[in-house]
């Protein structure tokens, strides 16, 4: 009993620290965006670009990518990932085949009634999948998939035999691909991971915006890095005594503060480009193969076990590259895929 109380207090403390840290990390993201934008447009670009037309074009391009970066980041912050409903508040599907299992696998039959179900749920077109984002349709046919009208929604098959576990931590139904987040203390639909940089989980409804946030972060940092890298080489060469580099940097070598600021800006932009690039390409791989971060680690372990037994592993959620992308992003058309507002 005492141990349980201590564990609960420790968990509450961890949850508080994680949430508080999340607010500081969000502020840090906005600070980093502002710092890189200002240093790139006002210092790095003018130092490296002498043609005024090219300089103007570079600044406009950076403004465009930064606006999209901030827009998608705000959507990440303000869009719920989608949470599983609790057993006590959920209106269930009108099928006699539906059962609930708690995590001890004790089965409870659900009393199914027709009253109120048609008002609470509506038929929703999808392509043989449990989940789909709002206002997005995959395939050309309507099926018997149902969608909760609430914001924290889910989709499931009217005619399937559904066996659902009940989460022992939050009491929610564990739909397929649903995982409990220990920081949010809720079960998240199609959970990818808990991201401290947005202060919540990446899941069913905000994964698209998270991927686009990474895309525009990488493009913004890359634009600056393309000029920051040669600038950093010039600055370091000037410090080492290269006469040509000294001639190019003579006006700023006398100003130690400006010199250090340019060098710091260059190093940060290059570091951010590498970091966001690695993260982006990893999530593109997950997108193309229809996996979440959690499923990737789970599937990697399962794949190794099966390969040791001479068996092949197949991802049951993989519908092919284009359908996988369309399922999360809503479209595969370029450049519409980069602009969720269109």
149 DSSP assignment: S
Residue 3, classified by CB atoms within 10 Å of its CB into exposed (0-12), middle (13-18) or buried (19+), is: exposed
Domain C-terminal end among 138, 161, 190: 190
Between β-strands 145-148 and 155-157, what pairing exists: parallel, antiparallel or unpaired? antiparallel
User: What whole-number distance in Å separates Cα of residue 314 and Cα of residue 316?
Assistant: 6
Domain C-terminal end among 190, 218, 247: 190
Helix (H, G, I), strand (E, B) or coil at 259: helix
Domain C-terminal end among 139, 163, 190: 190
Query: Contact at 8 Å (CB) between 175 and 100?
Result: no
Helix (H, G, I), strand (E, B) or coil at 193: strand
Same domain, 115 and 219: no
For each of the chain's 342 residues, which pLDDT tens digit applies? 566 566 566 656 656 676 678 789 999 999 999 999 999 998 899 888 889 999 999 999 999 999 999 999 999 999 999 998 765 544 444 443 444 444 443 433 333 333 332 223 332 233 334 333 333 333 333 333 344 444 444 444 444 445 677 888 888 888 888 999 988 888 999 999 999 999 999 999 999 999 999 999 999 999 999 999 988 888 888 777 766 665 556 566 666 777 788 888 889 999 999 999 999 999 999 999 999 999 999 998 898 898 888 888 888 899 999 999 999 998 888 888 888 876
The domain of 41 spans 15-80+207-338
Structure tokens at 235: 């600055």
The residues that are catalytic are 195
Return the pLDDT at 154: 44
Same domain, 67 and 214: yes
Return the pLDDT at 97: 41
Using omega within 30 degrees of 0 as the cis cutoff, is the peptide bond preceding 335 cis? yes
Same domain, 153 and 33: no
User: What whole-number distance in Å separates Cα of residue 150 and Cα of residue 76?
Assistant: 19
């Amino acid at each position: 009993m005492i141990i349980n109380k201590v564990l609960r207090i420790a968990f509450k403390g961890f949850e508080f620290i994680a949430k508080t840290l999340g607010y500081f990390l969000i502020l840090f993201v906005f600070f980093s965006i502002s710092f890189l934008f200002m240093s790139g447009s006002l210092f790095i670009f003018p130092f490296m670009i002498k043609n005024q037309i090219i300089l103007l074009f570079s600044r406009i391009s950076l403004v465009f990518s930064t606006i999209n970066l901030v827009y998608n980041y705000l959507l990440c912050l303000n869009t719920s990932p989608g949470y599983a409903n609790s057993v006590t508040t959920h209106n269930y599907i009108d099928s006699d085949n539906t059962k609930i299992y708690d995590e001890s696998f004790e089965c409870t039959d659900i009393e199914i009634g027709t009253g109120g179900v048609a008002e609470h749920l509506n038929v929703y077109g999808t392509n043989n999948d449990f989940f789909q984002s709002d206002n997005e349709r995959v395939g050309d046919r309507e099926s018997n998939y149902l969608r909760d009208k609430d914001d924290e929604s889910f989709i499931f098959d009217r005619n399937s035999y559904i066996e659902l576990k009940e989460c022992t931590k939050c009491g929610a139904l564990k739909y397929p691909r649903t995982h409990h987040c220990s920081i949010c203390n809720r079960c998240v639909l199609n959970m990818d991971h808990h991201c401290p940089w947005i202060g919540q989980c990446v899941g069913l409804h905000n994964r698209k915006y998270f991927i686009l946030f990474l895309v525009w972060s990488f493009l913004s940092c890359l634009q600056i890095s393309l000029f920051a890298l040669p600038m950093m080489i010039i600055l370091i060469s000037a410090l080492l005594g290269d006469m040509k580099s000294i001639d190019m940097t003579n006006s700023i070598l006398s100003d130690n503060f400006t010199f250090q600021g340019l060098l710091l800006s260059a190093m940060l932009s290059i570091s951010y480009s590498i970091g966001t690039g690695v993260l982006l390409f990893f999530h593109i791989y997950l997108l193309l193969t229809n996996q979440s971060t959690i499923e990737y680690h789970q599937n990697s372990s399962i794949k190794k076990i099966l390969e040791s037994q001479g068996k092949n592993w197949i991802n049951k959620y993989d519908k092919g590259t284009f359908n996988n992308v369309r399922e999360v992003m809503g479209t595969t058309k370029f450049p519409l895929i980069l602009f969720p507002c269109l």
